Homo-oligomer: A and B are copies of this chain.
């Protein structure tokens, strides 16, 4: 694999480059954003490893620019800030994965391999919207008509699935397979129970219902007409 490392700290860059070369990869280095951008846009790399903080053009901007130019090369972000917001910003800019410094080399290697294998996955939207309901996959937040809604994990996954298929009838079996990972019938009404709880949070208190029951078939999430 041909990898570009964009990192201003020389010792970190060397540490990464040496390790990756030992694993049989071809590694180029760039010490600042401008050089990085130039190389990333021109040469055919299989992976970019980019520091978040860079002199010149910073990491975020670099990734956005590269993506804007239509380059689909996977990007692994290195960040010193451990905060959630920072990672979200990186992922939203178009990065495929992130790693918080300091990190063990084995961890970097594992991620490099994972990204290399994945190549280019289908892109999917970060924010799902139906009517006045919005769900952010990365921030894991939901709000309706501007009001934040707190959902449990399972409720969130259920809503995410419903919204990703808004307007289509979703059967009980489809939900069991895709939300719960059940490939058999648990013979309980687990779906109804969670749907009931989700309705309590998403529909109750608002003027229009979004979740509708389709008797004999399943459920639909649909904007009022």
Give chain A's interface residues, CB within 8 Å of chain B.
82, 84, 87, 91, 99, 104-107, 109-111, 113-114, 137-138, 140, 153, 157, 168-171, 173-174, 181, 183-185, 214, 216-218
Q: Which residues of B contact A183 (CB under 8 A)?
A: 91, 137-138, 140
Q: Are B218 and A110 in contact (CB under 8 A)?
A: yes
Closest B residue to A105 by CB, please name it.
B217
Contacts A174-B114, A216-B104, A217-B104 given; indicate if A109 touches B169 (C-beta within 8 A): yes
Which of these, B87, B109, B114, B169, contacts A184 with CB under 8 Å? Answer: B87
Distance in Å: Cβ of A92 to nearest Cβ of chain B: 12
Q: Are B174 and A214 in contact (CB under 8 A)?
A: no
Closest B residue to A216 by CB, please name it.
B104
New A-B pairs, 15, CB < 8 Å, besides A110-B168, A111-B171, A138-B183: A84-B185, A87-B184, A91-B183, A99-B173, A104-B216, A106-B216, A107-B173, A107-B216, A107-B218, A110-B170, A110-B217, A114-B174, A137-B183, A140-B183, A140-B184
Which of these, B91, B104, B174, contacts A110 with CB under 8 Å? Answer: B174
Closest B residue to A181 by CB, please name it.
B157
Q: Main SS of chain A's interface residues?
A: mixed
A181 to B16, CA, bound (A): 28
**Residue among A82, A114, A183, A216 with max Cβ neighbours from chain B (10 Å):** A183
Closest B residue to A172 by CB, please name it.
B107
Distance in Å: Cβ of A34 to nearest Cβ of chain B: 30
Q: Are B184 and A110 in contact (CB under 8 A)?
A: no
Offer 7 A-B interface pairs, CB within 8 angstroms, sorted by A: A84-B185, A87-B184, A106-B218, A107-B217, A107-B218, A109-B169, A137-B183
The 3 tightest CB contacts between A and B, nearest first, are A106-B217, A104-B216, A104-B217
Closest B residue to A99 by CB, please name it.
B173
Q: Which residues of B contact A84 (CB under 8 A)?
A: 184-185
Closest B residue to A113 by CB, please name it.
B168
Q: Which residues of B contact A218 (CB under 8 A)?
A: 106-107, 110
Q: Which residues of B contact A140 (CB under 8 A)?
A: 183-184
